[in-house]
Structure 1
Amino acid sequence: TGHHDAVNSIAFNPDGKKLASASNDNTIKLWNLQSPTASDTLTGHHDAVNSIAFNPDGKKLASASNDNTIKVWNLQTQKELATLTGHSKSVRSIAWSPDGQTLASA
């Protein structure tokens, strides 16, 4: 348990020690796989979070939302690094390039 609405996306970090989940409750939860509870909650989206993706080194997480934005998060500080705009409707999917330099969205 942890989210208060449907979960739309999950992703393992590259070392397999954490799992992130994105929900219609506008939040992202970070789960320590050694514990059954969420270790951290990322907030900042104003609508449902549809998709999440860890960058290849596991230090950043990107999230795509119905609020038409993508957010990039620093996982060490759990702070938002950037809000990316440009979509005129919901962002449904995101993916990092293998080198972690580019983020694609749909």
Structure 2
Amino acid sequence: LAGHIGAVHSVAFSPDGSELASASEDGTVGTWDITSGDMTAVLRGHQRKVVAVTYSPNGLYIASGSDDHTVWLW
């Protein structure tokens, strides 16, 4: 995905299918509008690569896991 500096390790669709979240080698989580393809946010906080990402069932939160041994809830 254009917008990340490193490889993307995981992606997840929001429950309503309107958004995609991506977990990247560059230590960020990106969110993307499915209709336009535009990156809508870059979530920074992990200290190492992000290897997993998922949405909460209601779509209000994103959880991400990193090689820095942390899980962030956004």
TM-score strictly above 0.5: yes
Q: Secondary structure at the match of 1:59?
A: coil
Q: CA RMSD in A?
A: 0.6
| Matched positions, count | 73
Q: 1:47 deviation in Å?
A: 0.3
Q: Which residue of 2 aligns with 1:22?
A: 23
Q: Secondary structure at the match of 1:9?
A: strand
| Cα separation, 2, equivalents of 1:35 and 1:46 | 30
Q: Which residue of 2 aligns with 1:54?
A: 55
Q: 1:37 deviation in Å?
A: 2.1
- Which structure has the greater CA radius of gyration? 1
Q: Secondary structure at the match of 1:16?
A: coil
How much identity, in percent, do the aligned residues show? 42
The answer to whether the aligner puts 1:40 opposite 2:44 as a matched pair is no
Instruction: Show structure 1 runs of 4+ deviating over 6 A.
Output: none
Give the alignment's TM-score, normalised by structure 2: 0.95
Unaligned stretches of 5+ in structure 1? 74-106
Q: Secondary structure at the match of 2:46?
A: coil
6-15 or 27-36: bigger deviation: 27-36
Unaligned stretches of 5+ in structure 2? none
| Cα separation, 2, equivalents of 1:24 and 1:37 | 20
Q: Secondary structure at the match of 1:51?
A: strand
